[in-house]
Structures are given as structure tokens and as C-alpha cells.
Amino acid sequence: MTALSALTPPTTADLPPLPEALARLAFASSSSGEPRERVVRLLEGSRVASALLFLVNNAYRNIPMRLSNLKIASAYLGVEEIARQTRGLLAVEALCEGNEQAWKLYLRRGTALGLIAAQLCRRFEPALDPRELWPTALLIDLGQLFREQRLPEVAAALRREQALSGCSLRQAEEVLGLRSHGEVGAEICARWKLGDEARLACLHHQGCEPGAGTMLQRDRRRMLMVADRLLQLALRTSATKLQDELSREVVELLGLPNDKQLPYLLARAEQPLRTAVRI
């Protein structure tokens, strides 16, 4: 085991405990009485509330009006939907530990990912409800966020390896003898009770357990994986060799006969990027 791999948590026992905010949300949303009012009071005035309103106003295409506050949003969407969407935001906030820049950067990426995946659903999987993608879109890179915030030396070593080799993050992890960020993210999802779909999505993101879950869950994970590859291509931060690999993955995952649709799909990804920057 290398010095770097020793810094990577080997079991869920070494991961952070369930954040207090997630425990309070679970209690507020499941107790008898007036759960909607309790959830609103719990979140009101927080940056999580602002992010939640931004998310629902951009994720829910059939809303007849802009939802301007949590009371209106919870009345329109229901407390269960608000709680479902909020869990991922609270998990991200807990890992960011007050780092505003990390919070915004991560949310922008998750928002862009969800919007691109929603576009793909409408074109390639119209039977899927794009709203079901959002909680998972915010969580599939939770392991990477954990590493950036809690193990900065490991994150820096991975960036150096990627820059030197022009490889993907997963390939850099393998070179350095590290567990994948997908595995770490899956363990956080399990420990923090963020849902089995999010846990499986973290693993599927890295090519593990692709067959687990229902067909709808597998299709949602596939759309998120394609969205991730398109996002990397649209950001134009990858080496040429990796860009070619990402392009081939998009074609294969969507079952396209060739890459002729790729320029159109990349052009469509520009609008989600512009929307996400506003968060």
C-alpha cells in the first residue's frame, strides 16, 4: 500500500458521521403533525434553501410559475419531494464545511450535469422523468468532493498525474493505487442514508455494478454517465487522447451508429453550462 492509498478511507467507519442537518431533516419530514412547516423552518434563510429554489425552478419544466420561496415550493411540490431534493444539498454542504467556493463549484457542476441529463432523457429516453435525475446528479461526485475537502494532498497528487499522463481521474487513481472516488462516494451515500440509487450511481459512474437496480434506474444512471462525458467534453479541459475516449463512450452508451450527432449534443450542452453558472 502506498502512502497515498493509506490516506484513503478503507471502510465506512473512517468516513464522516451522519451530519446533524441530515438527521434533523429526516426527523422534520417524517414526523407526524405539520412536517411541511418544520422543513420550511429548518431550511429557511440558508444557502441550501437558495440552492434548492434555483434547482427546482430550473429542473421542473411544467411549473406554471416561478417558485419564489420555500413555503410556495413545499406547498406545490410536497414535503416529500422537497426533502428528497434537499438531502443531496445538505450532504454537499456538510462536506464543503463552510468553503463557499467549493460549494458553488460543486453545485454548478451538479446542476449542469442534471440539466444535460434531462436534455438527453427527452431525446433518447422519453419514458424517464428528468426530475428523478436531480438528487443523484448532485451526489455521483461526492467521493471526489470528499477527497478535495478532506484529503487535499491526495487530490493534488491525482491532478498532477492527470496533467502528466492526460488520463481520466479513474485511471490516475489506478496508477497511484487509490480506491476510486466512486467507491468512496458510494460508502458515504450508504453511511449517510442518501438512498440506494445514489449509492449505485456512484459505482456505475466508475463502471462497477452497472446491472444493479431496475431497468429505469439503470437507464437513469446511463443518462447521467453520458451527461458526465458530454460535460467533460464541453468544458474542454481534457487531453486530446481522453477526449477521444470520452467521445467513444458517448457514442457507445447512446447506441449511436457513429459520432455525427456529437457536435449537436455538445452544442446543446452549452445552455446548461450557462444556466449553472448563475447558481
pLDDT digits 0-9 by tens, 152-182: 999 999 999 998 988 888 899 999 999 899 9
Share of the chain above pLDDT 90, in %: 41
The stretch 83-106 carries a mean pLDDT of 92
* Measured distance between the N- and C-terminal CA atoms of the chain, rounded to whole angstroms: 40
Q: Is 171 exposed, middle or buried (0-12, 13-18, 19+ CB in 10 A)?
A: middle
Given a cut of 90, is residue 34 above it in pLDDT?
no
Give the rounded distance of the alpha carbon of 45 from its chain centre.
Answer: 24
The reported pLDDT for the residue numbered 207 is 59
pLDDT tens figures, 139-153 = 999 999 999 999 999
The reported pLDDT for the residue numbered 209 is 57
Whole-number Cα distances in Å, 116 to 223, 227, 265: 9, 6, 9
Whole-number Cα distances in Å, 45 to 27, 62, 139, 180: 19, 26, 23, 36
Q: Which of 93, 98, 70, 66 is nearest to 82 (CA)?
A: 70
The reported pLDDT for the residue numbered 14 is 60
Beta carbons of 221 and 204 less than 8 angstroms apart: yes
The reported pLDDT for the residue numbered 10 is 45
CA distance 138 to 238: 22
- In the chain, what is the greatest distance between 2 CA atoms, to the nearest angstrom? 58
Pick the more confident residue, 30 or 165: 165
